[in-house]
Chain A
Amino acid sequence: MSLDRVISGETAAGQRPCWSCQAPLSVRAAFCHACGRIQPPAALDHFRRLNLAPRFDLPTADLEQQYFGLQRSLHPDRFAGKSSREKALSLQHATALNEAYDVLRQPLRRGEYLLELRGRPLNGADGGTIDDEELLTQAMAMRERLADAAGEAEVLALIASAEADAAAILAEIEGAFAQEDLASAARLLTRLRYLAKLTAEARARVAGAGSGVQA
């Protein structure tokens, strides 16, 4: 890390020179205030990348306003006539913005990411042991229902019930994060993840073999 700083000329005060005109800049500056050229993206978490406070109950409108606003000035389409270095930097910025937006717009991934930021990452996506008895029982029952579902209507009913459960859990997760109850948030997110997986499987079943998926 410190070596990176030496190489990039970054100083202890969080400043670095503009790669083009050498004007001193904050490491977070996307553009040089002196020459206007685009700068390398800073190492920021997804919330900071989009100038948002790290919170679970993130209004979609705020997220989109920040995301679209930043893409408007940083997207590669704005740099089509610029030098290859500026093009490359814009590509890095836009990639990072897309990644941040993708994580934060989905409640499940946003919650998991918040836990990670707080130093309490969930177990690996599919591995790890689940010690939530209630979840295990519920999961087994739902999986049986899906396996036994005779027609499309039954599968659709199962999806609807899973979605209703997910909405209820989402509200609980908001409460848990609001009270900084990270243990509960983690437990609820695991359930949410399970429901999401089941819903996806059920949807795939409905879509059947003749979907838009091409060999």
Chain B
Amino acid sequence: MSLQILEIFEPGETPLPHAEAPGIAVGIDLGTTNSLVALSRDAKPEVLRDAAGRGMLPSVVAYDAARPPQVGEEARRVLLDEPERVVSSVKRLMGRGARDIKALAGRLPYEIEPDAAERMIRLKVAGKSLTPVEVSADILRALKARAETSLAREVTRAVITVPAYFDDAARTATRDAARLAGLEVLRLVNEPTAAALAYGLDRGAEGLYAVYDLGGGTFDISVLRLEKGVFQVLATGGDAALGGDDFDHLIAQQFLRQREEDGGGGDLSVGEAKQALLTARIAKECLTEHTDGEWMLEVGGRQSRHRLDIAGFEALIAPLVARTITTAKAVLADAGLAPGEVKGVVLVGGSTRVPLVRREVAALFGRAPLADIDPDEVVALGAALQAEALTGGGDTLLLDVTPLSLGIETMGGLVEKVIARNTAIPAARAQEFTTYQDGQTAMMIHVVQGERELVAQNRSLARFELQGIPPMVAGAARIRVTFAVDADGLLTVSAEERTTGLSQAVVVKPSYGLDEEEMIAMLRTAMENAGEDMVLRLLTEARVEAERVLLALDAALKADAGLLAAPELATIERRMALLRQAMAAEDRHAITAALEALDQATQDFAARRMDHGIRQALKGVALDRLASRLEAEDPS
């Protein structure tokens, strides 16, 4: 029965739809070209879409010195007009150094900081200096926001997929990006494994399956055994730098060569390099459905036209497709299988739409590949299934492997492998090493990942020094180095001198990774931004609250203005006007103050309305019936 018009919520306590509800976790496919977020309920995964019904979020971020970054379609539109402030295909740079970037006609599609040769690369965009981890975090924030809008609740936990062939540096970078975006990573799941999960659970598949995953920037091939809810990866392989982007590169190169032959050389700007790649991509997509076409390039203010037909396109990309087939054969050999033993081949990734790719895969396995789950969505769906299994419990079991051998450098720049590729994870192996000089008290441990014999040919993951070895003759110390790979495929290395028990453990922070200080600094920036977000949220809350009070008060005045003396009414109306003024401005405190002032001015009015209301209600009601009537009417 009481009037609630003047009840004011404490700032920040307005019940928003994002009420804390634990248990939920989404699946995220953080792709080179597009990213998706999906949620599974009762083993039915669904891609979460934006208001326009789009499931795919282009992995494109546009930066602006003054505004927050734009992600997705908006950013892709910016790419056309102001390519220099847009970052795309950032996944290819995860855990990488400057020397890993591919140039187009001698021009990198990014401005990079010059001193980044030996550490994680930094991009110069719109006056900012950004690591791939920060750009990826912006994409993850957009996916998180999409999920929260779609589900009307807060989302803080996720399963994120990574290419099976991602090395430790790239996996660590992905995890760091999630941390920056405020997401707890329940598990990093390999993309082909996630796809197999979606297929296997959907169709009750059993037996040996191959997953051929050719995305925008990465290629994976995995062979799995599916049996009674167990998804056992037998072998995996791939190329972390081979994908549809490389097809675009080849087309763009051909167009630029043609220009040069026609006397239209000249240096590309960064923006022109990006636009050339964009044109090439449009050409590629067109040639998936049509037999030929003509496209236009504009460099240095001069336009040129370029024709390409499907035969020409296939001749360009044939060597790359052949490379994927060679890798697929090697993976089958690793699994001890002949192509004919595989019961089904699943196609994943947008680049498997290219007809040449489909033909070559079908020829290798001697059967038409499966692509009935949308190759763009299947990985996100699998990730969502795994997220549900990890939070709600589930009966399926994913047993994955490490894609690359892990080892340490020994004398003469050779690699001693400690964990071989295709070892089931989690895994731990120890190996003993010794000193090679009399009285040696320290030992450098250099961790590498890869299959080659020489250190220089593999990826350097980390270096650390085991110190305090007691001086002994050469070969007497026994140093036991233990490698442990967890269920996310992340490596920890520890070393122990066995004669003294001296031990050291290091979490491997890859050479191209972020060190803890950088990570903390980025988190702080993220928190400051979150601080701005909080201010905005409180301001919105205050406005919403003021609006609610004004509406209720208007209604009350319409009904019962007669209960007020003229000066009282004037005061209330004046204060209402002041509140409306404050609402139009940006100061939350001014709104709150005006609201309080209005509250004071209306307290008598509220009390009088209450008395009046009771008197009205009791008019003509016998006293003995009052009690029961109050009980029935008062819900509290």
A interface residues with partner B (beta carbon < 8 Å): 68, 71-72, 75-78, 80-81, 91, 94-95, 98-99, 101-102, 203, 207, 210-215
Contact = CB atoms under 8 A, between A and B. Distances in A.
A207 B333 contact: yes
B426 A94 contact: yes
A215 B399 CA distance: 26
Given A203-B333, A212-B237, A77 B487 contact: yes
A159 B149 CA distance: 59
Interface stretch (B128-136, B387-395, B547-555): B387-395
B50 interface: no
B423 A102 contact: yes
Most buried by A among B239, B386, B451: B451
B575 interface: no
Interface in B393-409: 393, 395, 397-399
B484 to A, nearest CB: 7
A95 B427 contact: yes
A77 B390 contact: yes
Interface centre among A80, A91, A213 (most CB of B within 10 A): A80
Contact of A213 (B228, B390, B452, B484): B452
A95 B423 CA distance: 11
Contact of B327 (A91, A95, A211): A211
Contact of B390 (A71, A72, A81): A81
Contacts of A81: 390-391
**Interface magnitude class on chain B:** 35 or more
B397 A102 contact: no
B117 interface: no
A67 to B, nearest CB: 9
Given A91-B487, A207-B333, A212-B327, A77 B389 contact: yes
A26 B468 CA distance: 39
Nearest to B219: A212
B79 interface: no
B486 interface: yes
Contact of A98 (B221, B228, B395, B424): B424
B102 to A, nearest CB: 15
Contacts of B276: none
B457 A212 contact: no
A72 B452 contact: no
Interface in B236-275: 237-240
Contacts of A75: 397, 399, 487
Contact of B330 (A71, A72, A99, A213): A213
B350 interface: no
Contacts of B330: 207, 211-213
A10 B361 CA distance: 57
Mostly, the B contact residues are mixed
Contacts of A210: 323, 326
Given A76-B487, A212-B221, A215-B450, 8 more contacts: A68-B397, A75-B399, A80-B391, A91-B426, A91-B486, A98-B424, A102-B424, A211-B327
Contacts of B238: 212
Nearest to B424: A98
A71 B424 CA distance: 12
13 contacts: A72-B397, A76-B487, A77-B386, A77-B487, A80-B187, A81-B390, A91-B486, A95-B484, A207-B333, A212-B221, A213-B452, A214-B239, A214-B450
Contacts of A211: 326-327, 330
B187 A77 contact: yes
Contacts of B329: 207, 212
B590 interface: no
Interface of B: 165, 186-187, 221, 228, 230, 237-240, 323, 326-331, 333, 386, 389-391, 393, 395, 397-399, 423-428, 450-452, 457-458, 484, 486-487
A76 B452 contact: no
A53 to B, nearest CB: 23
Contacts of A94: 426, 487
The 5 closest A-B pairs by CB, nearest first: A212-B327, A212-B330, A80-B390, A212-B237, A213-B451
A204 B129 CA distance: 45
Nearest to A67: B399
Contacts of A203: 333
A98 B428 CA distance: 9
Contact of A72 (B240, B395, B457): B395
A77 B457 contact: no
Contact of B427 (A71, A78, A99, A207): A99
Contact of B428 (A80, A95, A101, A214): A95
A214 B236 CA distance: 13
Nearest to A206: B333
Nearest to B238: A212
Given A98-B424, A210-B326, A214-B451, A77 B398 contact: yes
Nearest to B240: A214
Contacts of B427: 95, 98-99
A76 B486 contact: yes
A34 B399 CA distance: 29
Nearest to B165: A214
Nearest to B22: A81
B214 to A, nearest CB: 14
Contacts of B323: 210
B428 A99 contact: yes
A101 B232 CA distance: 13
A214 B450 CA distance: 7
B426 A98 contact: yes
Task: Pick from A80, A101, A212 the residue with the most CB of B within 10 Å.
Answer: A212
Contacts of A77: 187, 386, 389-390, 397-398, 487
A77 B330 CA distance: 29
A212 B165 CA distance: 11
Interface centre among A68, A94, A213 (most CB of B within 10 A): A213
A215 B484 contact: no
Nearest to A98: B424
Given A68-B230, A77-B187, A81-B390, A215 B424 contact: no
A101 B397 contact: no
B464 to A, nearest CB: 22
B236 to A, nearest CB: 9
Nearest to B421: A213
Contacts of A212: 221, 237-239, 326-331
Nearest to B389: A77
Contact of B424 (A91, A101, A214): A101
A98 B401 CA distance: 10
B157 to A, nearest CB: 9
Contacts of A78: 393
Nearest to A80: B390
B552 to A, nearest CB: 43
B3 to A, nearest CB: 45
Contacts of B423: 98, 102
B399 A71 contact: yes
A135 to B, nearest CB: 25
A35 B437 CA distance: 53
B352 to A, nearest CB: 18
A160 to B, nearest CB: 13
Nearest to B159: A80
Nearest to B457: A215
Contacts of A213: 330, 451-452
A71 B427 CA distance: 13
A71 B451 CA distance: 29
B458 to A, nearest CB: 8
B425 to A, nearest CB: 7
Nearest to A72: B397
A80 B228 CA distance: 22
